[in-house]
Amino acid sequence: MKPLKEFCAALFNKELMPTALKVSVVVGSILFTINHGSALVQGKMSNDRWVSGFLTYLVPYCVNIHGQYTMRSRSGECNTKSGE
């Protein structure tokens, strides 16, 4: 359970967040356009689609944090405390 707790802490690590947010905006926007663009333009965005759209941005953020966390863990420089 320790790695899971450390990963959850890494989700809010201020050193990892800037890169993850940038990736999330770029990748999430591309995926959102592919998956929901026509529904948005046609005004057919249901609540379910908005939830799916939110996840479209959340998943790239989590994947990027995971990659950064894994890289830092393997190189021994992982500091998962939020804000440090």
Burial class (CB in 10 A: 0-12, 13-18, 19+), 24: buried
Residue identified by tokens 């950064």 is: 68
> Amino acid identity of 18?
P
Longest dimension (CA), the chain: 50
> How far is the C-alpha of 29 from the C-alpha of 48, rounded, in Å?
18
pTM (global) more than 0.85: no
Please report whether residue 38 resides in a domain.
Answer: yes
Whether 44 and 69 have beta carbons less than 8 Å apart is answered as no
**How many domains is the chain partitioned into structurally?**
1
pLDDT digits (tens), the chain, 84 positions: 788 898 899 999 999 999 999 999 999 999 999 999 999 999 999 999 999 999 999 999 999 999 999 998 888 765 555 444
Q: Is residue 41 part of a domain?
A: yes
Query: Residue 66's domain spans which residues?
Result: 20-75
